[in-house]
Structure 1
Amino acid sequence: MTRKLIIFIASSLLFINTAFALGNDNRRQIPPVLQNTYFGLNAGYLYIPYSNSDLKNNVTAKSVDNSLIAIKVSIGHYFNKYLALQLSYLRPIRWVKYHDIQGSTHSVWLSFLNLSLKPTLPLSSKFSIYGQLGGTYIARRGFTVQGQTGMENANMVTLLAGAGAIYNISKWLHLDLGLLYTAPRHHYNQPYALYLSSGLFITLLPDANSPSVDNDHTDYIFPHNLIYASFANSNVFYAEPSNIFSSSYFPVFWNGKIKVSSSYGLYFERNIFHTDRTFSLDWGASVTRNVSRNDNQTFYTASLYPEFKVWILRTHSFDFYFTYSVAGPTYISRTKLDGKDAGTHLTFQDFMGLGAFIGSHQQFNISIKMTHFSNGNLFTSNPGIALPLTINAGYTF
């Protein structure tokens, strides 16, 4: 296990330095590897025509809620103005529900991970149309009725197609209207899906007005590298602020059914981009040792992650910031914890917190964070893992 963690962290740090640190050291310019990459958020109507014919063992319901509001998060890259590659994650806010099956209601959990080519045709400086063609990975968690399978758990791959239109609000901000179709998989009793949505996306473009490499001066300090240790122990200090932010409708953060009683970790972060004062983007790598609350099971995690900082207050004595990280790919050493199936060894790390850099050159760091591990319902079992509030201290260089 130790050898795997060392190899993971060493390769992660090599990747970070190779991709972002070598060559151009102008951190006020979008790194070349991220230029022409876009991030989008859509909301819309998802229709999946589930019916009693999709159930097993003669299970029947009186009604089905299969018209849903769903959110889609996208990341993509334009190779040129005519072609992009896009990865997106789509899930309903509320699950499909089968009502009144022997007097009870049962849910079907669904998540869609989509990968597609996106040919685009500009019609003018403001309008474009596009198509989509690719594949979808669907993770479905079904249900049982009195010990019999009503709908089976399933992981499947199917075809994806779509079309849409783009309106350019500015060079970097765009309005999207799109229709997405996923083909049925009859072997799994999975109907087709239609998703009609609108949303916004931003494109990361090189800034012609950005300072040159030799003139990367700003009046504020953005530490280049940060290394810090984390500590959490529910017997010393217990708080679960994630309960406040984990709304089932639109969560800002997430909780977990598997609770951690103590955690120790080591983190390394490298800044790759910042504005003049208020925003910065880092890449990081971490390892943690954790103990579960109920059965005292020890498990380890190793993560790569992006981190966004919003700098709230700047003074001569300290700089105060808000930090957020989501979907950092993570290796977890155990998949069974406290009697629960945590999924697979692949999961994702999320954290949110507040921190400050202090000292004559802001060389010392202190912070508090909420941390969560989850596979994003990409697998049929996803109880989530919640850490206590962590206290962190580190040094910049």
Structure 2
Amino acid sequence: MKTVFLSTALAVFILSGNVCRAAEDSRAQYPPWLSNSYIGFNIGYVKQTFTHVQLERGYQASTIENPKLMVSVTLFGHHFNKNFSAQLTYKRPVHWVRYKNINGITSEHTVRTNLASITGRATAPIGSLFSIYAEGGLGIVTRSGFNLENRNIVKDANYPTMLLGTGLQYRLSDSLDLQTSIAYAPPNKSFMQPHTFLVSSGIVFNMRPLSAEKVKNIAQLGVIFPKNLVQIGYATNTFGTGVNRFVSRAKIFWGGSHEVTHGVTLRYQRNVFHTKKIFSLDLGVSAANWRGAKNQISFYTFSLFPQFRFTLIRLKQIDLYLGYSLAGPTYITKTITDGRDIGQRFTFQDLLGLGWYMGKQRHINMEVGIGHFSNGNIFPQNPSVKVPLTFTVGYTF
């Protein structure tokens, strides 16, 4: 495995050397694969009623709390033309279903259910500002149940289904839409899963191609956004995991029930888009070696990831930024560490950090951050991995 790790590290440096030879800088314009794409966020009322039916025969709960709020995140969508688009979405309740005091035993148990989907969407305009759409496609329902007294009381579930929906959009600008939508997934008798009915509203950000004049004006500002960044880092729980707990409680980031004591990371990031002064988008690859907190079991992760960077302060010799990375597809070499099942070998990497670039050309980089690995509940088992404070140094070119 060490050979694999070193080979990946070498590949990262070779890749960075090849990429940096790009002849012209057009990063103020959306790259072709992002142009006419979109992301979105909705929140609204959900009807997904769990009852005693989901419990094994002979068990009753004194109270069942069903969530009333659900979020729907469009992770990525693309407009193929004015009338058709396709999108990848993720839906989950704000709070999980809770069964309390089963058979008189004072206890509380959660049932986690989420819905991922790939759908096609047909859109028709209504005047110049409104449009209506209908969508349909494949959904994947994942449910994580619970045990009591060594018995499986609510079973796990993971199955394909159909997702249907419709909605109304209002164009605020070329890049922003307001939308109200309805989504429906049917019940499944085999898994005792109730139907999902969601009415929600939110916002859509469209990445329309920018005008040549706007791109030229951004380029002429001369603000430095480093093209390539190579980082090496060391993670350690010497200082505890207080930062992880704080951002998790504040709902800014995620925690995790499985901890690592330390790790070594190698990352390469390539900037593909930036605005005038603040926002930039990088694409990155990373390889890391981690060691579990309890049994000191070693495992590796290999990730592709987007990096959203917000440069909040620009001074003469230093720029300070906030970095946030979500849902980076990851291969993890072990699924059982410290005696716990952490799911499948496919998971996602999330990163949160504060960093700075130094020097006249901003060649020197330093960063402090935390991390998280989770499969997003697309598999029933998902204890997730908490990565403590990680200190990185880097070089840009």
Q: Which TM-score tier does this pair reach, normalised by the shorter chain?
A: over 0.9
Alignment of 1:59-208 (within 5 A): 59-74=59-74, 75-103=76-104, 104-208=107-211
- In structure 1, the residue matched to 2:245 is 243
SS of the residue corresponding to residue 263 of structure 1 reads: strand
Look up the match of 1:376: 376
**What secondary structure does 1:34 align onto?**
coil
Matched residue, 2:334: 334
TM-score normalised per structure 2: 0.92
Shift of 1:246: 0.8
1:358–1:308 Cα change, 3 Å: same
Partner of 2:306: 306
Map 1:226-237 onto structure 2 (within 5 A).
226-235=229-238, 237=239
Alpha-carbon contact 1:9-1:285 (below 8 Å) kept: no
Pair 1:216 & 2:224 matched: no
Query: Aligned pair 1:257/2:257, yes or no?
Result: yes
Per-residue CA shift, 1:166-193, capped at 9, x if unaligned? 0111111111101100011111111211
Distance 1:186 1:8, change over 3 A: farther
Shift of 1:360: 2.6
Q: Which residue does the alignment assign to 2:359?
A: 359
SS of 1:94's equivalent in the other structure is coil
Structure 1 residue 9 displacement after superposition: 7.3
**Partner AA of 1:211 in structure 2:** V
SS at match of 2:88: strand
Distance 2:135 2:4 in 1: 38
Change (3 A) 1:330 1:8: farther
Measured in 1, the distance between the counterparts of 2:12 and 2:147 equals: 42
Structure 1 residue 96: deviation in Å?
1.2
In structure 2, the gaps of 5 or more residues are none
Shift of the alpha carbon at 1:340?
1.2
C-alpha change, 1:395 and 1:163, in structure 2 (3 Å) is: same
* SS of the residue 1:328 aligns to: strand
Letter in 2 for 1:210: K
- After superposition, give the CA deviation of every residue in 1:214-235 in whole Å (9 maximum; x if it has no partner): x933332111101010012234
CA contact (8 A) 1:57 1:148 kept: no
Q: Distance in 1 between matches of 2:29 and 2:142?
A: 38
* Kept after mapping to 1: 8 A contact 2:370/2:387: yes
Instruction: Please say if residues 13 and 285 of structure 1, whose CA atoms lie closer than 8 Å, have aligned partners that are also in contact.
Output: no
Instruction: Give the whole-Å Cα distance in 2 for the aligned partners of 1:3 and 1:82.
Output: 50
Identity of aligned residues (%): 35
Partners of 2:84 and 2:322 lie apart in 1 by 36
Q: Show structure 1 runs of 4+ deviating over 4 A.
A: 2-24
The answer as to whether partners of 2:67 and 2:94 remain within 8 angstroms in 1 is no
Q: Do the aligned partners of residues 11 and 160 (structure 1) sit closer, same or farther apart at CA in structure 2, a change above 3 Å counting?
A: farther
CA distance in 1, matches of 2:117, 2:335: 25
* CA–CA separation in structure 1 for the residues paired with 2:284 and 2:235: 20
- SS of the equivalent of 1:261 reads strand
The 3 A distance-change label for structure 1 pair 54 and 386 is: closer
Task: Decide whether the 8 Å contact of 2:8 with 2:287 is kept in 1.
Answer: no
Q: Which amino acid aligns with 1:94?
A: H
Cα RMSD after superposing both structures: 2.5
Aligned-pair CA distance for 1:364: 0.6
Taking a change above 3 Å as real, the CA distance of residues 24 and 43 of structure 1, as seen in their structure-2 partners, is farther
CA deviation vs aligned residue, 1:347-368 (integer Å, no higher than 9, x gap): 1111111111112311110110
**C-alpha distance after superposition, 1:52-106 (max 9, x if no partner):** 2232233223443224211111021110110110111111111112333213333
1:255 maps to a residue whose letter is: G
Aligned amino acid, residue 278 of structure 1: I
- Aligned to 1:229, the other structure's residue is in SS state strand
| Residues 330 and 314 of structure 1: CA distance in aligned 2, closer, same or farther (over 3 Å) | same
Greater shift, 117-126 or 145-154, is seen at: 145-154
Secondary structure of the residue aligned to 2:215 is coil
Q: Give 1:50 shift.
A: 2.1
Q: Deviations over 1:259-281 (max 9, x none)?
A: 11111111100001111211111
Distance 1:145 1:130 in 2: 45
Tell me: CA distance 1:269–1:360, structure 2 relative to 1, closer, same or farther (3 Å).
same
Contact 2:91–2:116 (Cα < 8 Å) also in 1:
yes
Contact 1:21 1:272 survives alignment (8 Å) = no
Residues of 2 paired with 1:18 and 1:123: CA distance? 48
How far is 1:15 from its partner? Answer: 9.6
Q: Distance in 2 between matches of 1:132 and 1:16?
A: 40
- Calculate the TM-score normalised by the size of structure 1: 0.92
Q: Is contact 2:307–2:325 with CA below 8 Å preserved after alignment?
A: yes
Instruction: Check whether the contact 2:188–2:195 (CA below 8 A) recurs between aligned residues.
Output: yes
1:345 matched to which residue of 2?
Answer: 345
Check the 8 A contact 2:141/2:158 in 1, yes or no: yes
Tell me how far apart the structure 2 counterparts of residues 221 and 19 of structure 1 sit (CA, whole Å). Answer: 18
Asked if the contact 2:301–2:331 (Cα under 8 Å) also holds between the matched residues in 1, the reply is: yes
Classify the secondary structure of the residue corresponding to 2:190.
helix
- Classify the secondary structure of the residue corresponding to 1:343: coil
Question: How many residue pairs align between the two structures?
Answer: 393
